[in-house]
Structure 1
Amino acid sequence: MRYAADLQFTGMLYAMTVPAGIAKGRISSVPTDAAMRVPGVVRVLTPSDFPTPASPPTLEFEVAYRGQPVALVIAQTLEAAIEGAEAIRPLYEPVPFASVLDSAGARRIPAEAVTFGSADSVLASATRTIEATYESPTQHHNPIELIATIAVFTGGQLVIHESSQDTQGVKNAVSAALGIDPTRVDVKGSTIGGSFGQKETQRQTALVAHAAMLTGRPVKLVQTRGQIFHTATYRPNSLHHIRVGADPAGRIVALLHDVVQEQSEGGYYPAEEHHKDATRLYGIGNYHGTAANLVLDRNAPGYMRGTHSQPSVFAMESAIDELSYELGMDPVQLRLANGTTVDPQNGRTLSSRSLDACLTEGTRRFGWSRRTPEPLSMRATNGALVGWGVASGIFQSAATPAIATLRIGADGSSRFTVSGHEMGQGMRNVIVAILLSGLDLDEERLEIAIADTTVAPQHMTAGSWGTASVAPAAASAVETMQSAFARLLDGRAVAGNLHRQLATLRRPFLQVEVSQLAPGQTVDALESLRQGGFAAIGPEYPGFTSHSYSAHFVEVHVEPRTRRLRIPRVVTIADCGRVVSPRTAASQVYGQVVWGVSHALLEATEIDPRYGGYLNNDLADYVVAVNADIGEIDVGLLDEPDPMANSVGVKGLGQSAMVGVSAAVANAVFHATGIRVRKLPIRVEDLL
């Protein structure tokens, strides 16, 4: 398995960007003489070498954030490229900037509200209410594989190899930025070493592509982790003010949720989406959700694993836990009391809602009945304070159209091409499982070609819609191929697997092409896919709404004097419809629980408000969970197909299993210590 940075080409050059040393302003000049004197440096590209303005942007004289690439050094070796980049000292004309939520220059821009029912008036009649503000910090994705691009320009054709979850988007962006015909650009990214939402279209790609076209040689750029912090996306800092009330039976009668989040100038991370999934966790008929962006002079925030649901559900599930204590009601029973079979936003039927089943099974596995309800009431044999907490998770079940081709050869080979990107989530495993369940093929010679714009139109793989999009396409390809073989055999009995049958019939190969639409989509969506457009749909479909769910049960131990916190065990039960590949599905849940713990206790990006940069922009100082932080994780998958979602009955999983973990941790911490922590990550000083 080779990643983008592993590829080697004859005569390859190496590139390194020069990051802006100010947070906002204008470049007056970019002296390049010192860089060109470095042995091995071939060329230096500056904003003068790119069209102005370019859309999407390339190199510009206007600086919008610290770390923005302002020049590109191309050299014979990586070392020379780095030395050349360090030799460039641009001259700037800086201006005042705002870098954090409480900066004086931050501009507040309201976003669209989400309202249904009469939350304000109904809340006044609630028996018990909770009002509190919860905070989720700025966080960076930090997949292990760095962002890498190799561009090769031969015979008038530009081929880009990149660690991207959106190869079609890369193709379109490079074509637009450089003003070249899209048919002259191909993008390949068959294997990605982690993404979590960060590896979408990058500014560096067009720079490297332009360098390859100018030099006539392959060019490689691998950004350092410190540069990625400043150029790629991240989860924005967000504040969530919640007012929630319930009647004596524990039925939540109304909820008000106001969100404020970081945003960049012209940023695309919509604040109103904080209300998209969280509003549908329970049957709350009266909801008023407001949102606003605080515009800062930093690189753009973007979608990160769990996206808006992760911080929003942390806030909501923490507030609901607080409400359970106010009511004197068991936290699990309070959640069960608020089940629903319809989408409270629009009254549509939920395709399936197995959250109650997740909570019930989790209660059994965790041994929740042994919990004593009062805070500070449970102790371990070593004297540690013990807390048990619970929270629910939710994430959209979305899908995109797909075009797939299956070719079976008499020589024993098979090739399946489809829209989609493999980021470690197990997409290939799902495809293989479906193909082999219906076709007698040689597994050793089965090729799955994805994330390649030369083999099939590619959609962005994100939003937990990858498996839900390719699984029905693979199933359709199986059925179509079965029919094609039946017509070929015409009632004859031919021995052997499908390859041997083709050989016996003297057919070199048999090939079928299928297209698959998500529920409610028309052929226009397929055409949009072919043209490189965005054609995802969900969670709202004609006549129904679809989500995946999870329930998390967490045990924490807090040392009474030092307040050191440990998590010896977690039980997570997930609903993702049909489980096509049990091993990779369980792996997704394990990974998301680990990340949820990391989100709750460790991860936060530190911003220097004096200069607008990130202080802990490496894996030494950006603290993530390691083996010592993780105890036993018990994963359960309901495996209940959802026939309304698609023909296979599968729903998204990768993100829903993370949502709610941090709330369950915070709720367990309160049960252990009696201290309610509403700001993440939870640190020792919060418990002293």
Structure 2
Amino acid sequence: MSAGKFPDRARIDALEKVQGLTRYPGDMPASRMLHAMIVPSRIAKGRLTGLDTAAALRVAGVVRVLTPEDFPSPPPVSEAGPPPPPPSLEQRIAFRGQPVALVVAESLEAAIEGAELVRPSFEVEPFAVEIDSKDSERDAAENVIFGDAQAAFARAAITIEAKYTSPTQHHNPIELLVTAAIWEDGRLTLYESTQSSAATKVATARALGLDPAMVDVKSAYIGGGFGQKGGSSQRQTVLVARAAMLLGRPVKIVVPRGQIFHQATYRPRSRHHIRLGADAGGKMIAAAYDAEQEQSRLGSFPAADYHEAPARMYGIENYHGTAADIRLDRQPPGWMRAPHPQAACFAFESAVDELAYELGHDPVALRLANDRRVDPLTGHPFSSRFLNECLEEGARRFGWSQRNARPGSMTASDGSLIGWGVACGAYPSRMVPAVATLRIGADGSTLYKASGHEMGQGIRTAIATVLLEALSIDPDRLEIVIGDTSAAPQHMTAGSWGTAGAVPAATKAAARMREAMTELLAGRRIQGNLHRQLAAVRRPSLQIEVTELGPGQGPEALASLRRGGFAVAGPEYPTFTTMSYIAHFVEVQVETRIRRVRVPRVVSIADCGRVISPRTAASQVRGGVVWAISAALREATEIDPRYGGYLNNDLADYVVAVNADIGSIDVGFIDQPDPLANSTGLKGLGEVAMAGASPAVANAIFHATGKRIRELPIRIEHLL
């Protein structure tokens, strides 16, 4: 593995995007396209007893209204446990907003009008939609325990204890949920905004009783996903596919944002009770951490994963972690950027900051003094760990040594209170198997087909960077096909394993192509790039295929990938554990009268192994920091307990950070290849970029004001 640094290349798809030429799933043309609109449930729990569609069918342009009777019986429950409600129309209502009918029309306007005229009737049952609702059910998750925390607390010189809360939040990507379905000659083709085209293929086929070989899913570009588009099947997919099959015409739906709030996954509200103990010298010796989260009745978003990062962050040898689901009558929560560490690091890193003040220690020095090199959950070493280096470089760039430690002691020229805060984040680094095909043509073309999805994170640019560094080919005629089940087996792109799945395979493909060209030329020396060399020996094209596995994976992982299965390795590999790390330094300014908080500057230093695409990597970190500032100061989904719905289900009322809220974000990387993680030496980056930035904001606010806020988002009323 070469350890050289990669150049800062421009995004390979930048020009097309700014010219508006990039085609997203909703842009795919098809003749005689019909438009669909969902009719959502108006109750939170109960049963559909009737569906009056007469008025809807009288609307000019409405072609059909699909009801539960138009769908095959749901497949049997698997032995692995009960899944969420199948993604079709059902009589049983599990949450407000659940689809009860689908209106299909010649125009979008007719579909909307028809959907508004469908009159469902319900039998209503009592429901629980808030974490403190009396009809909620507590479901304990698996504990995470090592050492003896109780005994360690007994000998601790300093102990702090606090409770922290993170709110329900929704993703709100710019591109809405989109499905366009075409049923032609016995084949179903779905153009879907999904991070998991293969799982969508398999789930849709299963729900409709089709052979998966009859289904293709194409998701070339996604206008933002962040986990919301990563499940096996979105609620609208099977509905639209069934409509296309029944009507024999292409059908498209673009789900309105208000319906997305109620149908798609989201970040659940969570509560965190943390106790930390340290000796007189500042060594953290014990942690007790209890986490609980909102959960649907049948949802499986894992509560125990709140411990995955905090338990590995510092050299605490005695840890007692518990977790629980609070089961409610809402749609299932799910993965959202830095799914568990966003909330877990807010709580844990706030507690570490509180401990530092209680000890009278500098918050950076305390973290540096509590480094660790071995994973306490497995006993295996970390494959690489440069968290302390992130802290040291961040402190240097930020000017941390100039900080006055006393809260409220630093002011700006306009009298605003200045606060400086620090916090860290960690995220598991995983790998997935991959299959890639590379074909170079004598006509100047290069075609690369592989696993992966482009959500705007720059996976195409990372692939192109590797291929263009290793091969002499025409960069203007390089085509990269990903997200397409008809081109290559597709893995889900999530959890920061997208680049780890795509780039090692591209590295191997480039090496194999060089070998194949050497064999083809058989010692002949021909000037020019590979295209010219192929033309010189009268070879129209040369194609190779490679497969790549994660550490410890065998042939069964590739077989699972080819079947559309889930075959993720890590972070706990056979002989080591791989994590990515980041340190954030934040300055806030708090106005003295109205207590408005500004964030003029941030310094973030990441340890993500080898940096493949410097430009898109820096963009990932900036995006994560922007989102973390938004989560810390703006974002919360408000729930109406009377009806079970979301009150601020649009971008007018769901408040997010805008340009005026964001100042300078200085991004840096350790850029040290991880020799064990994979053949390219990279680790995950997208998720860890956000982890820890929200508590850095909260810690800076405490330093500015002396007020410790333990609930997100931090609003003006908290500081008055």
Alignment of 1:8 with 2:29, yes or no, is: yes
Alignment correspondent of 1:247:
279
Alignment correspondent of 1:559:
591
| Preserved contact between residue 387 and residue 557 of structure 1 (Cα < 8 Å) | yes
- Equivalent of residue 161 in structure 2, options 107, 123, 131: 131
- Opposite residue 156 of structure 2, the aligned amino acid is A
- Opposite residue 44 of structure 1, the aligned amino acid is V
Q: CA deviation at 1:54?
A: 4.5
Alignment correspondent of 1:118:
148
The within-5 A match list for 1:65-104 is 65-104=95-134
Distance in 1 (CA, whole Å) between partners of 2:354 and 2:92 is: 48
Instruction: Report Cα offsets for 1:659-679 as digits up to 9, x if no partner.
Output: 000000000000000000000
Alignment of 1:203 with 2:235, yes or no, is: yes
Give the 3-state SS of the residue equivalent to 1:533 in structure 2. coil
- Opposite residue 98 of structure 2, the aligned amino acid is Q
Q: CA deviation at 1:52?
A: 2.8
Distance in 1 (CA, whole Å) between partners of 2:487 and 2:282 is: 54
Alignment correspondent of 1:21:
42
| Preserved contact between residue 87 and residue 234 of structure 2 (Cα < 8 Å) | no
Distance in 2 (CA, whole Å) between partners of 1:625 and 1:109 is: 35
Give the 3-state SS of the residue equivalent to 2:258 in structure 1. helix
| Preserved contact between residue 25 and residue 179 of structure 2 (Cα < 8 Å) | yes
- Opposite residue 591 of structure 1, the aligned amino acid is G
- Opposite residue 89 of structure 2, the aligned amino acid is L
Alignment of 1:166 with 2:196, yes or no, is: yes
The within-5 A match list for 1:389-428 is 389-428=421-460
Query: Which has the larger displacement, 472-481 or 274-283?
Result: 274-283
The within-5 A match list for 1:573-588 is 573-588=605-620
- Equivalent of residue 353 in structure 1, options 369, 385, 393: 385
Distance in 1 (CA, whole Å) between partners of 2:137 and 2:712 is: 24
Give the 3-state SS of the residue equivalent to 2:410 in structure 1. coil
Distance in 2 (CA, whole Å) between partners of 1:277 and 1:604 is: 23
| Preserved contact between residue 35 and residue 41 of structure 1 (Cα < 8 Å) | yes
Alignment of 1:64 with 2:94, yes or no, is: yes
Q: CA deviation at 1:638?
A: 1.4
| Preserved contact between residue 634 and residue 714 of structure 2 (Cα < 8 Å) | yes
- Opposite residue 493 of structure 1, the aligned amino acid is R
Distance in 2 (CA, whole Å) between partners of 1:552 and 1:177 is: 45
Instruction: Report Cα offsets for 1:249-303 as digits up to 9, x if no partner.
Output: 1111010000110000110201011111221111111101000100000111000
Give the 3-state SS of the residue equivalent to 1:34 in structure 2. helix
Q: CA deviation at 1:340?
A: 1.0
Alignment of 1:182 with 2:212, yes or no, is: yes
| Preserved contact between residue 283 and residue 343 of structure 1 (Cα < 8 Å) | no
- Equivalent of residue 434 in structure 1, options 466, 486, 507: 466
- Equivalent of residue 331 in structure 2, options 293, 299, 303: 299
Distance in 2 (CA, whole Å) between partners of 1:496 and 1:376 is: 66
- Opposite residue 371 of structure 1, the aligned amino acid is R
Alignment correspondent of 1:625:
657
Alignment correspondent of 2:635:
603
Give the 3-state SS of the residue equivalent to 1:248 in structure 2. coil
- Equivalent of residue 475 in structure 2, options 440, 443, 457: 443
Distance in 2 (CA, whole Å) between partners of 1:277 and 1:368 is: 25
Alignment correspondent of 1:105:
135
- Equivalent of residue 256 in structure 1, options 288, 302, 305: 288
Q: CA deviation at 1:57?
A: 3.3
The within-5 A match list for 1:503-522 is 503-522=535-554
The within-5 A match list for 1:35-50 is 35-50=56-71
- Equivalent of residue 153 in structure 1, options 183, 188, 191: 183
Q: CA deviation at 1:419?
A: 0.6
Give the 3-state SS of the residue equivalent to 2:289 in structure 1. strand
Give the 3-state SS of the residue equivalent to 2:462 in structure 1. helix
| Preserved contact between residue 52 and residue 60 of structure 1 (Cα < 8 Å) | no
- Opposite residue 227 of structure 2, the aligned amino acid is G
Give the 3-state SS of the residue equivalent to 2:305 in structure 1. helix
- Equivalent of residue 332 in structure 1, options 364, 371, 376: 364
Give the 3-state SS of the residue equivalent to 2:171 in structure 1. coil
- Opposite residue 181 of structure 2, the aligned amino acid is A
What is the TM-score normalised by the length of structure 2? 0.95
| Preserved contact between residue 117 and residue 285 of structure 1 (Cα < 8 Å) | yes
- Equivalent of residue 667 in structure 1, options 682, 689, 699: 699
Distance in 2 (CA, whole Å) between partners of 1:585 and 1:360 is: 20
Instruction: Report Cα offsets for 1:183-241 as digits up to 9, x if no partner.
Output: 00000000000000001320210110000001100000000000000000000000000
Q: CA deviation at 1:523?
A: 1.1
- Opposite residue 39 of structure 2, the aligned amino acid is V
Q: CA deviation at 1:537?
A: 1.1
Alignment correspondent of 1:194:
224
Measured on the aligned residues, the alpha-carbon RMSD in Å equals 0.7
Distance in 1 (CA, whole Å) between partners of 2:65 and 2:418 is: 60
Instruction: Report Cα offsets for 1:128-176 as digits up to 9, x if no partner.
Output: 0110000000000000000000000110000000010000010011001
Alignment of 1:649 with 2:681, yes or no, is: yes
Give the 3-state SS of the residue equivalent to 1:193 in structure 2. coil
- Opposite residue 625 of structure 2, the aligned amino acid is V
Instruction: Report Cα offsets for 1:590-640 as digits up to 9, x if no partner.
Output: 100100100100000000000000000000000000011011111111111
Q: CA deviation at 1:41?
A: 0.4
- Opposite residue 524 of structure 1, the aligned amino acid is E
Alignment correspondent of 1:30:
51
Alignment of 1:530 with 2:559, yes or no, is: no
| Preserved contact between residue 434 and residue 474 of structure 1 (Cα < 8 Å) | yes
Distance in 1 (CA, whole Å) between partners of 2:567 and 2:103 is: 37
Distance in 2 (CA, whole Å) between partners of 1:43 and 1:368 is: 65
Q: CA deviation at 1:89?
A: 1.1
| Preserved contact between residue 557 and residue 567 of structure 2 (Cα < 8 Å) | yes
Gaps of 5+ in 2: 1-21, 77-85
Instruction: Report Cα offsets for 1:53-74 as digits up to 9, x if no partner.
Output: 3563310001000000000001
- Opposite residue 141 of structure 2, the aligned amino acid is A
Identity %: 63
Distance in 2 (CA, whole Å) between partners of 1:249 and 1:417 is: 56
Give the 3-state SS of the residue equivalent to 1:350 in structure 2. coil
Give the 3-state SS of the residue equivalent to 1:259 in structure 2. strand
Distance in 2 (CA, whole Å) between partners of 1:358 and 1:39 is: 63
Distance in 1 (CA, whole Å) between partners of 2:170 and 2:121 is: 29
Distance in 1 (CA, whole Å) between partners of 2:87 and 2:682 is: 38
- Opposite residue 193 of structure 1, the aligned amino acid is G
Distance in 2 (CA, whole Å) between partners of 1:272 and 1:537 is: 18
Q: CA deviation at 1:538?
A: 1.1
What is the TM-score normalised by the length of structure 1? 0.99
| Preserved contact between residue 309 and residue 425 of structure 2 (Cα < 8 Å) | no
| Preserved contact between residue 18 and residue 71 of structure 1 (Cα < 8 Å) | yes
- Equivalent of residue 572 in structure 2, options 540, 543, 566: 540
Distance in 1 (CA, whole Å) between partners of 2:171 and 2:27 is: 22
Distance in 2 (CA, whole Å) between partners of 1:18 and 1:515 is: 44
- Opposite residue 73 of structure 1, the aligned amino acid is V
